[in-house]
Every structure is written in structure tokens, then in C-alpha cells.
Amino acid sequence: MKIDLENLTIRKAHEHLLKGDFSAVELSEVYLKNIEAHNKNINAYLEVFDDVATQAKETQKIIENKKGTILTGIPIAVKDNILIQRKRASSASKILEGYTATYDATVIKKLKSAGAVFLGRTNMDEFAMGGSTENSAFGPTKNPHDVSRVPGGSSGGSAAALAMDGALAALGSDTGGSIRQPAAFCGLVGLKPTYGAVSRYGLMAMASSLDQIGPFGKTVEDAEILFNAIKGHDPMDSTSVPDEIAKRNNEVSIKMTIGVPKDILDSPGIDALVLKNFNEEIAKLKGKGYSIKEISLPHAHFALSVYYIIMPAEASTNLARFDGVRYGLSKKGGTPFDDYAKTRGEGFGREVRRRILLGTYVLSSGYYDAYYNKAWSLRNLIGKDFEHAFNEVDIIATPTTPTPAFKIGEKNNDPLAMYLADVFTVPANLIGIPALSIPSGTVDRDGKKLPLGLQLMAPHFREDILFSVGKSIF
Ligand code: GLN
């Protein structure tokens, strides 16, 4: 049987594998061929693993013995900041040159036992800092919908891998939008799970109070299948939430009212066509029978400023471990201090150095109260706004991004313009709530059709509502 990659989903592939229409080996071969044809141009993968055929053969045996799961034999791509034992992992940074992971991240352990096949590790903004994948030490990734444009970031490699049919699903990480924004730019579904729903063990930390690993899929159901496989309590991550708590919340009844927050939609810099597209999506939801209610999130416009204080503070602390002694690159400068300065000065890229400086500054004595503590107070107020809103509505909807995919190079020398692209995505990370981006059609730009995304946010642990509303319109 000829494998139609474009229309393949996890469920369809699973059914074909069970029926024997094609084998896991054949399926992975088709993907490898496609990667070979497109990766040179798109640069989605930093490495394609040399043991894909072996992995696929093993999973094929499991399928034949009828011992598999829905993910057995499914080829997936993994962001380069998630550890896979005995594979290189670099967070797209020169500082991790030559580093090989010594253990599996919990999500990888879970996917291995579900029988997934790992195709390779994908490009990203260095240490997940960015929104375009241009901050990779290994060159930018291109958007398969228009190769002159970015795929979004920081998980741009994972999104582009899927969009070029170089994987059936993928893992990314989302600290301020890094799954949802590339999903929107590449016409995919992307989920940032509730903080604590998925273990962060084995994810290279960017900002520990914001980071979550999550899935990319071509359909809402595919994202749901991958999320179900990776979620769950993990004693190795002290912020991962016990399963009883995640489950108890799922028993609350729902009435399905969708809130539209006028305050954030009025932010400057939002493309008129994005707003038009968003209003059409809201009309579509109304047509499906959902009630639409205007809501107010009075502190939400502070979210971006709060994020860009808390995130660098945590990132600068987390990145202190890259000292030239423990991992990767090691430069000699004379004294131990010089070794440290030389390794970090040469090993980290510009954006990472900028955030380390910013983070160190906001944590320094005298500025801690003025910036960091103030940001935390505002983070709490934004949380209260959402709590109040969720007393009135079940879901809050916004566009995922203020613009469609921008040109490679367009914002790279203007960090503030790049940061503004995160305006809709950062609130969910600050509060810890789940958020899903689903494709909402395209806009025409320079003769190309550029995808847009609709973001749906729900209360903590209510991924179920996101999937159900998401499936009803996409
Ligand atoms: N674009 C955001 C940033 O640069 C989000 C990054 C992320 O989610 N990892 O911080």
C-alpha cells in the first residue's frame, strides 16, 4: 500500500499497522526518505538517528505479537532539549558540544514503553530562548509553508518536521509559547499542558516555574494521544502533580461558555487580518452552539513584562551549571574564573548572553525588590484575573499570535519586536493553565498561504475541555 503521508494521522497509521497494510519499518522508511529530500532546505532536524530501522523492527515485532499501544511504530521527532539516553542533546547550543545524554527524560521513557519510534532531534532556538528558531547555533529552520519565513520558535524544528511530513508527531517544550506559536505558524495543533501535568525530568531547564513539555500533532486527537502518553505524576519532578489531583478536577461539570478577553485583543501590533480571522473563529464557535461572553482580564497587559523579568531570572540561574567543567565545551583561559568566562563567552549565543545579563541584573541586590518581587506580585494578580474569569466561562479564546509567520531576519536584530510576538501565549505559562493552539485557516501574503492559530485556554488540568472544543471546530 502506498503511504499517504499528507493525510496520515496517528490513529490512521495505527489502524494500518494493525491490519498489516504497511509495517512500522516501511512507515519509518517513508519518513526517512522525506527527511532526506527536504531537510537540507528546511533544517528541521539537527540529527536523524542512525538506529531508526532497528527501533522500527523491534516495534513491528510488538505489533505482530498484538502487544502494542496506539503509539507503537509511530515515528516522532524530539526537540533537542529533551534527553534520550545515549543520544546527543545540545539545546542547539555550542556550549553542549559533544554532550551525550546519560539517561532518558521521563517523557521519553514513557514513549519508549508505548513503542514510539524516535526519528531524530530537532532544531530550536538556543536553550529555547526565542520565537523564530533563528537563535540556533546550527542555522535557522525554515517554514515549509514559505521558506523565506520562520517556522516560529523555540520548537520550530519540531513544527517544521511535522509540516514537511518528516514525522507524524513531535515533542516540544513551552515556556512562553514555544509549542503554540510554531504550531500556529506551521498549521499544526500544539498543546502547552497544565504546569505539573507532564514531568520536566530530563528537559533542559530554561525557566523552571514556566517550562512544560508538550505535543505537536496534525489533529487535535493526535495531540491528545501524545499528551495522554506523556502525562502523569513523576517522583523525579517535585512540581509534577499527583494523579489524584489532576483527576479530581476532571469531575467538575462543564457548561461551555467561551470568554473573549477584550483587554488583550486591544494590544497594539495585532495584524488586522489576524483579528478578522479570530472573529470568524468566534462566529464559528457560536454557530456550534457555544455561548460567547466578553470578559475582562485587567492585569493581562502586564503579562509580557512580567514574563520577561521572571523568565530571564530563572534562566540565568539554571544556565549557571554550564561552567565548562561538567558538560560539553571547555575552554582554557588561565585561571578557573577565566576558564568559566571564556567557555561561556564563546559557548553561548547572543540571545542567551542577553538573557543571562538581564536575569542576573533583576536578581541583583537592590533590584530584586524593584523588578523580581514586583513581577511576582503581578503574576499573582494575573492569576486572580483568570480565576475570576473562569468563574464565568469554561474557556478563554485569543489568537495564538499577533501576526502570521514573519520573514527570516525581519525581527532578529530587534529583540523587543521578537518578544512582542509572545503577547497571547505567555499568560498561560505564568498562571500554569493548559493552552491549545489549533489551525484557524490561512492568510495570503506574497502569494503564499500562511497558517494562523486559535488559542484556547482552560482552567488547570482541564485539557479535556480543550480537546473537546478543539475537535468540534477542527
Ligand atoms: N518566545 C518566548 C521566549 O523567547 C518563548 C520561549 C519558550 O517558550 N521556550 O522566551
List the strands of the sheet with 257-261, edge to edge: 45-48, 117-122, 75-79, 169-174, 212-217, 189-192, 435-445, 448-457, 395-399, 257-261, 291-295
**C-alpha cell of 33?**
526518505
Whether residue 178 lies in the annotated active site: yes
Give the three-class secondary structure for 405.
coil
Q: For residue 126, with 0-12 CB atoms within 10 Å meaning exposed, 13-18 middle and 19 or more buried, which class applies?
A: buried
Backbone phi, then psi, for 261, in 5-degree steps?
-85, 100
- Are 314 and 278 in contact, with CB atoms under 8 Å apart? no
Which string of DSSP letters, residue by residue, matches 252-300?
A: S----EEEEEHHHHT-TT--HHHHHHHHHHHHHHHHTT-EEEEE--TTG
- Which of 422, 426, 437, 455 should be mutated for ligand 1, with most atoms under 8 A from CB? 422
The domain containing residue 101 runs over which residues? Answer: 1-474
Domain count, the chain: 1
Instruction: Please indicate whether residue 128, judged by its CB atom, sits closer than 6 Å to ligand 1.
Output: yes
Q: For residues 233 and 250, give the distance between their C-alpha atoms in angstroms, rounded to a whole number.
A: 15
Kindly report the pTM of this predicted structure: 0.97
* Residue-wise pLDDT tens digits, 251-278: 666 668 999 998 889 888 899 999 999 9
Q: What integer pLDDT is reported at residue 54 of this predicted model?
A: 98
Question: In tens digits, what is the pLDDT along the chain, a chain of 474 residues?
Answer: 899 999 999 999 999 999 999 999 999 999 999 999 999 999 999 999 999 999 999 999 999 999 999 999 999 999 999 999 999 999 999 999 999 999 999 999 999 999 999 999 999 999 999 999 999 999 999 999 999 999 999 999 999 999 999 999 999 999 999 999 999 999 999 999 999 999 999 999 999 999 999 999 999 999 999 999 999 999 999 999 998 888 766 666 666 899 999 888 988 889 999 999 999 999 999 999 999 999 999 999 999 999 999 999 999 999 999 999 988 999 999 999 999 999 999 999 999 999 999 999 999 998 999 999 999 999 999 999 999 999 999 999 999 999 999 999 999 889 988 999 999 999 999 999 999 999 999 999 999 999 999 999 999 999 999 999 999 999
141 DSSP 8-state letter: P
* Residue-wise pLDDT tens digits, 409-465: 999 889 988 999 999 999 999 999 999 999 999 999 999 999 999 999 999 999 999
How far from the centroid of its chain's Cα atoms is residue 96's Cα? 21
CA of 375 to the centre of ligand 1 (A): 17
Q: How far is CA 10 from CA 14, 56, 193, 387, 472, in A?
A: 6, 15, 20, 35, 19
Whether residue 109 lies in the annotated active site: no
Whether residue 154 lies in the annotated active site: yes
Q: Of 154, 158, 316, 437, which is the active-site residue?
A: 154
**C-alpha cell of 193?**
499542558
CA of 170 to the centre of ligand 1 (A): 18
For residue 175, which atom of ligand 1 is closest to its CA?
8
What CATH number has the domain bearing residue 92?
3.90.1300.10
